[in-house]
Amino acid sequence: MKLNVRKVTKQFGTKAAVDNISFDVEGAQFVGIIGRSGAGKSTYLRMMNRLTDATAGEIFVDGVDVLSLKGKDKRDWQSQCAMVFQQFNLVPRLDVVSNVLHGLLGRRSTLASVLNLWSSEDITRAIEILDRLGIAEQAAKRAEALSGGQQQRVAIARALMQDPKIILADEPIASLDPMNAQVVMDTLKRINVEDGRLVIANLHTLDTARRYCDRVIGMRDGRIVFDGTPEQLTLGVARDIYGADETFTESATSTELSSLAPDREYAAAMLSD
């Protein structure tokens, strides 16, 4: 798979939330986008998934500009690049399997969806996906009864139900404790490596970006200010991305929040959403 992002801009009034960004991805990489709150990370993912329209630019996926797609082609594209959100976006009172089956909504008639007319093949597949992610025994429970980490795995299962080429994850672990964060990141990594799906994840912590990504893109004020490997993401580079001075340390953007001193926690809170 080839992704070629060309001069993409999103203007809100006079403010460019995403300002003329370009980058290329070849193959099913695990790409992390980092940067402080307001850098434009979510806006980029939302444009790519066509939840919001770009002001200018193109995003070519295998040579097709997905920003110019309309009608059915646009909906097909949206099911090819599934979104995973910080707040899971499940239907809390609905059981887990039904939440996973909702991944098929874009592909079915409204009537069949409203009546919950799932085929037995669909249900079997949903349970297989839950089983693969280690949460099949939760299938009959209401989504709201699960832990945050389990709910995010349900959201990933819902995304997989679409059999997407690309998974776009917007701060998928920002609401999770370190242990659940690791399980969710491991899950995304498996889907990336075992299935060959491109993953683009907005991440709010440096240690996670270093540990899981093949490639890290740093955004600041809507622009790309770093594009490289985790090894190239030095403390100096990180300071530049986050617009911080010498007092900025690694732990200020670590997922291990529980081990931080109070002042560091404050710094982390300032940097995250």
Ligand X SMILES: Nc1ncnc2c1ncn2[C@@H]1O[C@H](COP(=O)(O)OP(=O)(O)O)[C@@H](O)[C@H]1O
**Contacting residues toward ligand X, per CB under 6 A:** 12, 17, 35, 37-43, 273
How far apart CA 79 and CA 167 sit, in angstroms, is 10
C-alpha distances in Å from residue 244, one per residue of 136, 163, 174, 228: 44, 40, 21, 20
Closer to Mg ion by Cβ: residue 98 or 152: 152
Which DSSP string do the residues of 115-143 spell out, in sequence order?
Answer: TT---HHHHHHHHHHHHHTT-GGGTTSBG
Q: Residues touching Mg ion: how many (CB under 5 A)?
A: 2
Asked if 172 and 141 touch (Cβ cutoff 8 Å), the reply is no
Instruction: Tell the smallest beta-carbon distance from residue 16 to ligand X (Å).
Output: 8
- Largest Cα span, the chain: 59
Q: Which does 39 bind (CB under 5 to 8 A by kind): ligand X, Mg ion, none?
A: ligand X
Report the residue closest to Mg ion, judged by CB. Answer: 42
243 contact, one of Mg ion, ligand X, none, CB 5-8 Å limit per kind: none
Minimal distance, residue 213 CB to Mg ion, in Å? 17
Strand order in the sheet with 15-26: 15-26, 2-12, 56-61, 64-65
Q: Hey, CA dihedral for 199, 134, 124, 122, is it positive or negative?
A: negative
Closer residue to ligand X (CB): 41 or 215: 41
Binds 12, which of Mg ion, ligand X, none (CB < 5 to 8 A, cut-off by type)? Answer: ligand X
Chosen from ligand X, Mg ion, none, partner binding at 169 (C-beta under 5 to 8 Å by type): none
CB of 42 to Mg ion, least distance (A): 3
Asked if residue 42 binds Mg ion (CB under 5 A), the reply is yes
Of 13 and 71, nearer to ligand X (C-beta) is: 13
Q: Shortest Cβ distance from residue 128 to ligand X (Å)? A: 33
Q: Which one, 42 or 78, has the nearer CB to Mg ion?
A: 42
Site string for Mg ion, 2-41 (x = CB under 5 A): ---------------------------------------x
Binds 38, which of Mg ion, ligand X, none (CB < 5 to 8 A, cut-off by type)? Answer: ligand X
- Fill in the DSSP letter of residue 9: E
Q: List the alpha helices (DSSP H) in the chain.
A: 41-48, 71-80, 96-101, 110-114, 120-132, 148-161, 178-195, 206-212, 235-242, 262-271
Coil, helix or strand at residue 188: helix
Instruction: Say if CB 2 and CB 50 are below 8 A apart.
Output: no
From ligand X, Mg ion, none, interface partner of 210 (C-beta below 5 to 8 A by class):
none
Report how far residue 253's alpha carbon sits from residue 246's, in angstroms, rounded to the nearest whole number: 14
CB of 201 to Mg ion, least distance (A): 11
- Comparison of 38 and 148: residue with beta carbon closer to ligand X: 38
Nearer to ligand X, 127 or 174 (CB): 174
Residues that bind Mg ion (CB under 5 A): 41-42
